[in-house]
Structure 1
Amino acid sequence: MTVDVRKPRCFIAMPITTRADDVGRFDGDSDHWIHVMETIFVPAVEKAGYEAIRPVTQGSHMIHGEIIKHLSTADMVLCDLSTHNPNVFFELGVRTSLNKPVALVRDEHTTLPFDTSGLNTHEYDSSLRGWSVGEQVSKLAAHLRASEASCAGTNPLWRHFGLTITAAQPDPEGSITDAKLQLIQEDLSSLKRVIATAAIRSSAVANAPAVVQFLAEGLAPFIGAPLLSYSFYKDGFDISLFYPPTVGDVDTEGLTEEARSHGYELVRLGRSDENFWLSLDETDNLRRNRATSALHE
């Protein structure tokens, strides 16, 4: 009996049409975004282990219903925020409202708006120079794998605000106007929850460097990693730690107990060519204590 194992799918949300006033910035390339997609994005998505779902089909743009379907069902969405394209930001909003994983990227020309600047966003070189393409692909593939680990099945923007209620699955057969109105109404209803959690989140993020350093150094001996040789990504109440890939033997039991002594549960761990990573989540007790402290400040 043959078992058909489906590859996880990654939908690519990105600008497609190169605006006339941007052509000069991209060395006269009027098909710049198509070339970025085929030269960097698709190879990186495939290298990360996904099947790439392009935002175009048979040489034309996808219809809105197809896009909504892919945003709803894809295992991962690679979202390119370059040029602040409004369609891409809408697609990011749809994905976020469903509380599903997303990997954020931007080119070197783009500065992100304030409300996304605190998130882990990968910057890529859009020049498409032949000598650097291989490196760009590898770095983006690593970012996709790291995003998968840190998201752990949820959305970083959603968890950024500590929310737990998601929007209903949009109907891909309905009109794009109806889908937008539905999502706007549901997002407005969650605004009060965003405001209520903002103070707690701000307190957590403000203390992140000291907390992360203490935690990372405490866990390092249990994986044979050198102290101070790590990077991190803190998203609300969750922390992902990235150590060099040449760590020694992993003491999983000791690692779990040490994490708990810091108020964190070990959610996932893994190793790639680029790093050894740990994904941790605050325990309920630590979260309650943080909330109580914030309310009394």
Structure 2
Amino acid sequence: MANKGQVAEKSELKCGLVMPISAIDGCSADHWLDVKNILIEAVSSVSSFKFNAVLVSDADDTGFIQRRIVQNLYDSDIIVCDVSCKNPNVMFELGIRLAFDKATVIIKDDVTDYSFDTGIIEHLTYPRDLRFGRIVNFKEILAKKIEATYQASLNSDGYSMFLHNFGKFNVSGLSEASGSVDQALLQMMSEMQVDLARVRRATSLPNVNISSGGVRANRVLSSEFEKWADYYVRSNLGGDLSKLNAEDAFGNAVANMDLFKYFESPSMARRWFDNRISVLLMPSRTRDAERVD
């Protein structure tokens, strides 16, 4: 048993990364890969502790991606969360981590504004254009913040990352009972999928048909597709596009995007969808050139 202020008997601590991984708000998948590498370099430069930085969706074993994400959100010694572009999946995962009330560092780019619910927490800012000189400074600041935040979590018996702002709470850990965690997580993720589908339908342009709605309808649907694709790739494919099955993906998109309402016939919807999937599977730089909005 380690004393307070000392690292538990671990040769390496886990720093979970929560961030977008696919194109959103004009930022390509390559952009997020560059951001991920910047974060890994910053985490590796922490002097007082040895952290291994990995996406919370990553794991060596197979199994439910939803369970893996939540388990890693709980188990990670510290989380670095990039809320740039306000990706809905990232915000959801941040909410889970804050509910656990464990050490978390929030970052964002200089284009994204603050969210109301998390605005009380300090955010470190980096340039969206990833300009070298400013990124060097950002990595130094981030490394110091990670070290200080994790050290604070060790030094305080009543450490609270977030919930102390609203009162006194007893935070429960994840249950270890056989079967109960799987069932709870599956139910939770199922409810989240339903809620996200409702939000998409509520915020989409009503009663538009892409065959007659022109540029505006096309942009609405393109935006909906990017949101759906990000969630589908993260939650169903573990971030690995090579696992994508077009038939399964189309069925999921029809259910969660209400895809048919945008087209005069299911065959038109399928042709449009297959085109978008082919663009999604292209290398990112080629994809940006080929995308038709």
TM superposition score normalised by structure 2: 0.51
SS of the equivalent of 2:81 reads strand
**Corresponding residue number in structure 2 for 1:179:** 188
For structure 2, the residue ranges without an aligned partner over 5 or more in a row are 1-8, 193-293
1:143-182 to structure 2, matched below 5 A, reads 143-152=145-154, 154-169=159-174, 173-174=182-183, 176-179=185-188
The structure-2 alpha-carbon separation of the partners of 1:146 and 1:101, relative to structure 1 and needing over 3 Å to count, comes to same
**Corresponding residue number in structure 1 for 2:113:** 111
**Corresponding residue number in structure 2 for 1:51:** 52
For structure 1, the residue ranges without an aligned partner over 5 or more in a row are 184-297
What is the CA distance between 1:11 and its match in structure 2?
0.3
Contact 2:100-2:171 at 8 Å conserved across structures: yes
Equivalent in 78, 81, 84 of residue 82 of structure 1 = 84
The structure-2 alpha-carbon separation of the partners of 1:30 and 1:53, relative to structure 1 and needing over 3 Å to count, comes to closer
Contact 1:98-1:166 at 8 Å conserved across structures: yes
Rounded to whole Å, the distance in 2 between the matches of 1:34 and 1:175 is 32
Rounded to whole Å, the distance in 2 between the matches of 1:77 and 1:30 is 21
Rounded to whole Å, the distance in 1 between the matches of 2:191 and 2:93 is 14
1:189-208 to structure 2, matched below 5 A, reads none
- Does the alignment pair 1:133 with 2:135? yes
1:191-230 to structure 2, matched below 5 A, reads none
Equivalent in 12, 15, 19 of residue 10 of structure 1 = 15
1:222-241 to structure 2, matched below 5 A, reads none
SS of the equivalent of 1:90 reads helix
Contact 1:98-1:169 at 8 Å conserved across structures: no
| 2:11 counterpart letter in structure 1 | R
Contact 1:14-1:81 at 8 Å conserved across structures: yes
Could you say which structure has the greater relative contact order, defined with CA pairs below 8 angstroms and 6 or more residues apart?
2
The structure-2 alpha-carbon separation of the partners of 1:169 and 1:87, relative to structure 1 and needing over 3 Å to count, comes to same
Contact 1:8-1:75 at 8 Å conserved across structures: yes
What is the CA distance between 1:164 and its match in structure 2?
2.4
| 1:41 counterpart letter in structure 2 | L
The structure-2 alpha-carbon separation of the partners of 1:172 and 1:121, relative to structure 1 and needing over 3 Å to count, comes to farther
Rounded to whole Å, the distance in 1 between the matches of 2:65 and 2:121 is 30
**Corresponding residue number in structure 2 for 1:33:** 32
Contact 2:16-2:56 at 8 Å conserved across structures: yes
What is the CA distance between 1:16 and its match in structure 2?
1.1
Q: Deviations over 1:180-209 (max 9, x none)?
A: 5899xxxxxxxxxxxxxxxxxxxxxxxxxx
Q: Deviations over 1:266-291 (max 9, x none)?
A: xxxxxxxxxxxxxxxxxxxxxxxxxx
Rounded to whole Å, the distance in 2 between the matches of 1:71 and 1:172 is 14
What is the CA distance between 1:55 and its match in structure 2?
4.0
The structure-2 alpha-carbon separation of the partners of 1:7 and 1:64, relative to structure 1 and needing over 3 Å to count, comes to same
Rounded to whole Å, the distance in 2 between the matches of 1:106 and 1:30 is 16
Rounded to whole Å, the distance in 1 between the matches of 2:107 and 2:146 is 10
What is the CA distance between 1:151 and its match in structure 2?
4.3
**Corresponding residue number in structure 2 for 1:283:** none
Contact 1:9-1:75 at 8 Å conserved across structures: yes
Q: Which moved more, 1:85-94 or 1:174-183?
A: 174-183
| 2:73 counterpart letter in structure 1 | L
The structure-2 alpha-carbon separation of the partners of 1:92 and 1:64, relative to structure 1 and needing over 3 Å to count, comes to same
Contact 1:14-1:55 at 8 Å conserved across structures: no
SS of the equivalent of 1:114 reads coil
Contact 2:77-2:150 at 8 Å conserved across structures: no
**Corresponding residue number in structure 2 for 1:63:** 65
Rounded to whole Å, the distance in 1 between the matches of 2:35 and 2:141 is 14
What is the CA distance between 1:42 and its match in structure 2?
0.7
Q: Which 4+ stretches in 1 moved above 6 angstroms?
A: none
| 2:35 counterpart letter in structure 1 | V
The number of residue pairs the alignment matches comes to 172
Contact 1:12-1:79 at 8 Å conserved across structures: yes
Contact 2:80-2:107 at 8 Å conserved across structures: yes
